[in-house]
Each structure stands twice: as C-alpha cells, then as structure tokens.
Amino acid sequence: MGVNKRLETRSVRRSLRWLGLFLACLILSFHSSLAIAQTPESPDNPDTSSDIANQTLAVGLSPVPPFVIKSSSAEEGSDWDGIGVQLWREIAHELNLDYQWRELEPQEAIAQLESGDLDVVLTTATAPKEQQVDFTQSYFASTLGIATRRQQRFWDVVKAVLSPQFWRICLWLALLLMVVGLIVWLFERHSNEKMFDKSPHKGIWDGFWWAGVTMTTIGYGDKAPKTVFGQLLALFWMLVAMGITASLTASITSVLVLDQGIQAIQVQQLKTMQVGSITNTTAARYLQQQQISFRTYPTPEAGLNALKENRLDAFVYATAPLQTLNQDDFQKRFRIKDTGVQISQYAFALPNDSPLRESLNQQLLQELSEPDWQTMLQRYLPSSSG
C-alpha cells in the first residue's frame, strides 16, 4: 500500500513537470508570434514609410520647357512631358509611389508645400526657398541666358559678302558651272552652232551661261541642247541642280545671316538697354546684384513676345528654357547667349522633414548614373540656339 502510494506520487510529480514544460513552451511561442506580428515588414525602400507608400502623393508643377512641358491642347489631367517629368516618373515607378499631377502658379509652390496641400513640387532650388522647404539632390544646373533679336546691319552684310567663306562658295559654284558648260559645248558645238558657238572661247561661255540659268530654274530659253547626249546631260543636270541649289542656298544664308550677325550681347552691355526678366527668380536677383534695371514679366513666353515686338532689347532668364522656346515656339528668331553663370539647380521640393527625402535622393542618384539619363538630356535640350 505504501509502495503504491509513493509510485502514484512520483507519477503525479512527473506529470506536473511535463505539464509545466509544455505551458512554458506555449507561452514562449505565443510571445514570439506576438513580437513577429508587431514587427513591421521591411519594405524594398526602408526610408519610405508605409503611410507614404500607401497614399496618393500630390505633385505640383508649372510649365517650364524643357523640364516641364504641357501640350497646347492639353486639358486638366492630361499627360505632361519634359526632363523633370520623365525623371519623376522613373523614380515613382521604382519606389512604387502613387501620385497625381497638380498644375500651379510658380509663386504658389512653397506656400502649398508648407500648408500640406502638396507633397512634392518640380522646381528650382534656391537659398531663399531652402529656408522654408527641403530639396532633393539637383538633377540639372541652370545657367544665365540672354535672348536678343537677330539683327543685320548694312556693314555686317558687306563684311559677309567680302568674307573668304562666301568667296569659296562662289568659286566652287563657278568651277562646277564651267565643267557642265564645257561638257554641253562638246556635245553641241557641231550640231547646234547657233546656240553654242563652235569656237572654244565663245562656245564654252555659252555652255557656262546655259548651266547657270538651268541650275537656277530661270530658263530664258535662248539656249537649249538639240543632240541626244546634250539633252540627256540637261535632264541629269536639272535633277542634280535641285539638290545643289538647296545646299548652296543654306550655305550662303548661313554666311550672310547667321555667322556674320552682330556679336552676342554681354552682361555689362545690358545696363544701357531695355531688359526684361521674371520677378522673384534667380535671374532677376542676379540683375539686381549687377545693378541692372529691368521690366518684369509673368512667363518666359511673355518676355520673348515683348522682345519680338521691339518693346525690349534683351530678355534674361535660364538658358535651357530660352533655347527650347526659341527653337520650338519662335522659329529661332532670337540669339541666345549662354553666359555660363550658374544661377540655380533643378530639383524636387518637399515639406520640411519629409520621410520621402532619403529614398528620393537614393533613387535620384541611381537614375542620374544610368546611361539613359544623358540620352534623355540630348533628346530634350536643343543642341544649339545661338
């Protein structure tokens, strides 16, 4: 009886011991599961909070070609284009960010970022703005540009006509006409003496004259080949002359109008001229520092229109937008002088202490290191506008 009681006691103790171990394991397992559930999952981009990643960002922008371009027929919600727009799209795609475009007036950007109405703005980074909001790394350095009308004065045309380049073109053309004239005279000298004299002295001149009037499509009709070979040469020469005329016209125009025009304006010359710029921009502040008085305009297009209508002598703004507008909207009417003076950086503006800043900077640097970035710049930036 006593032995059975001891055995029963040991069995109870053993059972209690196993029960305790089981409960301890169960408690530890519960705590581990709870800790895992409370630990946030690590996103692909750790610097972007889950709240930001799950919301639709309001991205503000204003048309500033070639960085922000809006189609003339576009309505609200339509597609945008440009260097800054395409760069943002790439970054947002890589970071899985949802967003909506919001068009705004440039002067409203900082106020709307501070009030929380906007999460990101495509703009320029300047010292005054930096005191109010944060900026990402810049993706393009803006330089100061000066737009002036292309002008031709009488003496400039005279110098162009007397230039070696112009006379080289004339000499090359004269030699070509002489060769064609000689060939047609050789074909026509025996069968067409009335139009192409048999003597070399007069006959070659007749051929030279015929080649010239045929090339320029004037065609007086006083001379025309009659032989089969002469007529075949005439047909061939008329076809070739069309291409030569177009090429020579472009070359001579370049010499007379573009290359020998007045020299591009210098910054210090602006003090004696009627100058325009856009208020509250780095270009305007630069003019103020140089003590150059200027008229203010709301947009670059308005300033260039004033220049076109002779209400200004020069318009000062960032070089890249001036070159783009000059090429696309004004048919290269203006001469654009790039001073090389760096005035601002194009970047993305964010509210102070935005959780997006670090992840945007990382992805922005990655995008700028890709070969496609240089290809995109070449696509949007005019190769030359001056």
Picking from 360, 372, 321, the residue whose alpha carbon sits closest to that of residue 59 is 360
Buried b (16+ CB within 10 A) or exposed e, 83-94: bbbbbbebbbee
pLDDT at 212: 85
User: How many angstroms separate the Cα of 69 from the Cα of each of 101, 148, 229, 379, 383?
Assistant: 13, 23, 58, 13, 18
pLDDT of amino acid 255: 60
pLDDT on residue 71: 72
> What is the pLDDT at residue 164?
81
User: Please, what are the domains in the chain?
Assistant: 154-259 (1.10.287.70)
**Distance between CA atoms of residues 71 and 68, nearest Å:** 10
pLDDT at 127: 66
pLDDT score, position 152: 56
Tens digits of pLDDT across the chain (386 residues): 554 555 455 565 666 666 666 666 666 665 555 444 444 444 444 444 455 557 899 999 998 889 999 876 544 445 899 999 999 999 999 999 999 999 998 888 889 999 999 999 999 887 667 778 999 999 999 899 999 987 655 665 676 677 787 788 888 888 988 998 899 888 888 888 777 888 888 888 888 888 888 887 766 667 788 888 888 988 888 888 888 877 777 766 666 554 444 344 567 788 889 999 998 888 999 999 999 999 999 999 999 999 999 899 999 999 999 999 999 889 888 999 998 888 888 999 999 989 999 999 999 999 999 999 999 999 898 765 44
